[in-house]
Structure 1
């Protein structure tokens, strides 16, 4: 399969503990690396106000993850993002070269 560049943006719940926060980010990184992906950059944008409330929350921790992988890498990442309890929203897009 062809490897492409992808960008994933996700928002973590700001009410989870610091340990749960770090564990969620580590699990997301491991899901990319465990499915033949290479992380090129992970940016912590910090806590930001949401455009609209999600489950009565008005802010969350934003992250942007750039990685290289194939369709299986994206599928595994999205599967893990759905399973991790602290993830409020996410979006994965392919970056054009």
Structure 2
């Protein structure tokens, strides 16, 4: 049974854009190579942190929404902890209401961008 999860992680601000993309790809590959399925991926860019972490006040935020076996989450989080480029992360299991909400949010976001273009 695949559950749906959402992980937000913050990369250290001293990275260049290619290094951030490389880090994101690494974690996406961990999910897909272990039988997970990516549902959505968002790069929120550099944002100010609510409080300093490791003497840093900004970070590159990324969101992954994916389906996976519960056993994959432990492996995934161990890799996130080991990666020195990641300063914080949080994984949440989505219930059916959260899944509906995130689908609705993505749909509205898509419509918003289509209206800007058209």
TM-score interval (norm. to shorter): over 0.9
2: distance between equivalents of 1:64 and 1:18?
16
Q: Unaligned stretches of 5+ in structure 1?
A: none
Q: Normalised by the size of structure 1, how large is the TM-score? A: 0.93
Partner of 2:31: 32
Secondary structure, counterpart of 2:45 in structure 1? strand
Partner of 1:83: 82
More helix by share: 2
- Count of residue pairs the alignment pairs up: 96
Secondary structure, counterpart of 1:25 in structure 2? helix
Q: Unaligned stretches of 5+ in structure 2?
A: 97-118
Q: Normalised by the size of structure 2, how large is the TM-score? A: 0.77
**Structure ranking higher on relative contact order (CA contacts 8 Å, 6+ apart):** 1
Indicate yes or no: 2:57 matched with 1:58. Answer: yes
Divergent runs of 4+, >4 A: none
More strand by share: 1
Greater Rg over alpha carbons, structure: 2
Q: What is the Cα-based RMSD across aligned positions, in Å? A: 1.0
Report the Cα offset of residue 18 of structure 1: 2.6
Report the Cα offset of residue 17 of structure 1: 2.4
Bigger shift: 78-87 or 36-45? 78-87
